[in-house]
């Protein structure tokens, strides 16, 4: 059973080197014995500059994504054409478009995909906890139109209007000192 399970992993068996990106922007280089997303935490052997750190248990809720192993050369175009096109929408607002290879591993708490970004130069294996995602959407084609020509132009106008109204309201509440440009306020000492 264990041998069958290891061969189903979309990365080489053993202890792959990974780069873990956290929600707060921190990055950690580590090695993970096996990444299956069966548990809400992962165990990692930390590899980095800090000699005091050796092993860590990391909750998936703190992780945005994990790059597994080294990037591979891109597959031929005709192979990528047969893959699904997916758009990953992250909780933090990041959006990633990618063609995904069929040999994905979907665990209880996350998934592992081999992805090729349109116009990219390498095939990357990404492990993403589900708690970092709003959703993964399969799309028929990439929308390459400029932002202004897309159907969500009305939404962008609304967002722009709301942000402008907030800015105007904050300017009304500001003191004369706060209205001065930031650089003119730096370095001045107040005398008692």
Who has greater pLDDT, 184 or 34? 34
Who has greater pLDDT, 88 or 11? 88
The span from the CA of 50 to the CA of 31, in Å, is 15
On whether the pTM is more than 0.85, the answer is: no
Please write down the HEC assignment for all residues of the chain: CHHHHHHCCCCCCCCCEEEEEECCCCEEEEECCCCCCCCCEEEEEECCCCCCCCEEEEEHHHEEEEEEEEEECCCCHHHHHCCEEEEEEECCCCEEEEEECCCCEECCCEEEEEEECCCCCCEEEEEEEHHHEEEEEEECCCCCCCHHHCCCHHHHHHHHHHHHHHHHHHHHHCCHHHHCCHHHHCCCCCCC
Tell me the pLDDT band of 159, cut-offs 50, 70 and 90: confident
Residue 6 CB contacts under 8 Å (≥ 6 apart), including other chains: 13, 34
Number of neighbours of residue 30 by Cβ within 10 angstroms: 22
Tell me the mean pLDDT in the region 180-187. Answer: 62
What are the extents of the domains in the chain? Answer: 2-139, 147-185
Is the Cα torsion angle 110, 32, 45, 116 positive or negative in sign?
negative
Residues 45-54 pLDDT 10s? 887 666 777 8
Q: Judge whether residue 4 has pLDDT over 60.
A: no
Q: Judge whether residue 185 has pLDDT over 60.
A: no
Which pLDDT score is estimated for 192?
58
The span from the CA of 47 to the CA of 165, in Å, is 48
Which pLDDT score is estimated for 46?
87
Q: In terms of residues, how long is the chain?
A: 192
Tell me the mean pLDDT in the region 2-25. Answer: 66
Who has greater pLDDT, 176 or 57? 57
Q: Judge whether residue 19 has pLDDT over 90.
A: yes
Both tokens assigned to 183: 């650089």
Residues 57-113 pLDDT 10s? 999 999 999 999 999 999 999 999 999 999 999 999 999 999 999 989 999 999 999
CA-CA distances (angstroms) from residue 146 to 22, 79, 87, 163? 31, 28, 17, 22
């Amino acid at each position: 059973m264990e041998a069958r399970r290891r061969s189903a992993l979309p990365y080489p068996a053993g202890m792959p080197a990974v780069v873990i990106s956290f929600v707060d922007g921190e990055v950690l280089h580590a090695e993970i014995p096996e990444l299956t997303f069966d548990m809400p935490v992962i165990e990692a052997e930390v590899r980095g500059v800090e000699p005091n750190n050796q092993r860590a248990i990391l909750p998936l809720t703190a992780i945005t994504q994990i790059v597994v192993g080294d990037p591979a050369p891109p597959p031929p175009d005709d192979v990528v054409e047969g893959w699904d096109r997916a758009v990953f929408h992250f909780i933090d607002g990041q959006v990633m478009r990618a063609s995904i290879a069929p040999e994905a591993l979907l665990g209880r708490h996350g998934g592992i995909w081999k992805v090729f970004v349109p116009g990219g130069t390498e095939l990357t294996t990404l492990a993403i906890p589900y708690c970092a995602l709003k959703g993964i959407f399969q799309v028929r084609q990439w929308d390459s139109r400029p932002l202004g020509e897309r159907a969500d132009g009305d939404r962008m106008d609304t967002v722009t209007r709301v942000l402008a109204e907030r800015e105007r309201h904050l300017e009304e509440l500001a003191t004369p000192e706060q209205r001065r440009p930031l650089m003119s306020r730096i370095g001045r000492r107040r005398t008692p």
